[in-house]
């Protein structure tokens, strides 16, 4: 069963659309007309975050990055990751824009990370968002980072007013098995269940290696090991 699943996964990688192999490298500034025509960009309201403390970004400064489109194009430019809006911004001729239709993006390389827009389970069903990829494979490990916005505080006796402020939200780890939606790693018991037919092997490895499900390094070890078992 495990080998059949792995071969199905490999087959899907081998038979991607031909255009995905025909990469066109170019600066995003030179392709704004194409991006607008394909509705891959939207305007950013520069006043959106006025009078709010903190930062909504993973890294405040724009940095060099690459955007890989499903059609095969690879665009270079200066980008930044808006964690609060879960969106990627970029600059063109001094104006700020947002990459639209992230479902048409294969991946983004930015800030030394690989970002992917994937489906994941929430209490109400299925949602989509950007995740930092930590392990790629039939079993993939992702890190979900986000920001929250605190309410402003009005002036009170012996207390100064405070504006609304962006603060870091707790990081969460997710595992995606094959084409299934990614699921959050909540505890050891639920983590083991994620591996289905390989749950027993996952449980044994977790026990023998004393895997801490809250530790990123340990989760990377576990998911890498589970991928290696598929090819044995």
Give every CB contact of residue 76 below 8 A, 6+ residues apart in sequence. 25, 26, 27, 28, 64, 65, 66
Strand stretches in the chain, DSSP E = 24-27, 41-43, 63-69, 73-82, 87-92, 95-99, 105-110, 113-122, 125-135, 139-144, 147-150, 165-168, 172-177, 183-184
Residues 161-176 have pLDDT tens digits of: 678 899 999 999 999 9
Q: Is residue 98 in some structural domain?
A: yes
Please say if the pLDDT value at position 10 is more than 70.
no
Q: What is the mean pLDDT of the chain?
A: 84
Q: Model pTM? A: 0.83
Q: Is residue 220 in some structural domain?
A: no
Q: Is residue 218 in some structural domain?
A: no
Q: Is residue 225 in some structural domain?
A: no
How many folded domains does the chain comprise? 1
In this predicted structure, what is the pLDDT of residue 1?
A: 47
Total residues found in the chain within this entry:
232
Q: How confident is the model at residue 48 (pLDDT cuts 50, 70, 90)?
A: confident
Q: Which domain holds residue 81?
A: 2-184
Q: Is residue 120 in some structural domain?
A: yes
Please say if the pLDDT value at position 27 is more than 80.
no
Q: How many CB atoms lie within 10 A of CB 63?
A: 15
Q: Is residue 93 in some structural domain?
A: yes
Q: Is residue 119 in some structural domain?
A: yes
Please say if the pLDDT value at position 8 is more than 60.
no
Q: Is residue 17 in some structural domain?
A: yes
Tell me the C-alpha distance between 143 and 123, whole Å: 18
Residues 107-122 have pLDDT tens digits of: 999 999 999 999 999 9
In this predicted structure, what is the pLDDT of residue 134?
A: 98
Instruction: Give the pLDDT mean for 51-75.
Output: 92
In this predicted structure, what is the pLDDT of residue 231?
A: 66
């Amino acid at each position: 069963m495990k080998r059949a699943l792995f071969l199905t996964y490999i087959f899907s990688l081998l038979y991607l659309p031909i255009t995905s192999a025909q990469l066109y490298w170019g600066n995003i500034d030179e392709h704004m007309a194409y991006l607008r025509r394909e509705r891959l960009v939207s305007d950013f309201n520069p006043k959106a975050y006025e009078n709010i403390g903190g930062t909504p970004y993973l890294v405040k400064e724009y940095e060099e990055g690459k955007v890989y489109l499903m059609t095969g194009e690879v665009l270079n430019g200066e980008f930044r990751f808006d964690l609060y809006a879960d969106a990627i911004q970029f600059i063109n001729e001094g104006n700020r824009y947002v990459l639209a239709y992230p479902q048409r993006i294969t991946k983004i390389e930015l800030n030394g990370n690989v970002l992917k827009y994937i489906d994941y389970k929430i209490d109400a069903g299925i949602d989509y968002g950007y995740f930092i990829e930590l392990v790629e494979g039939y079993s993939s490990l992702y890190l979900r980072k986000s920001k929250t916005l605190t309410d402003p505080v009005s002036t009170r006796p012996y207390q100064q007013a405070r504006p609304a402020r962006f603060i870091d939200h707790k990081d969460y780890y997710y595992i995606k098995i094959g084409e299934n939606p990614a699921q959050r790693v909540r505890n050891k018991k639920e983590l083991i269940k994620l591996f289905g037919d390989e749950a027993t092997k996952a449980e044994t490895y977790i026990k023998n290696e004393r895997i801490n499900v809250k530790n990123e390094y340990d989760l990377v070890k576990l998911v890498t090991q589970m991928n290696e078992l598929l090819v044995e």
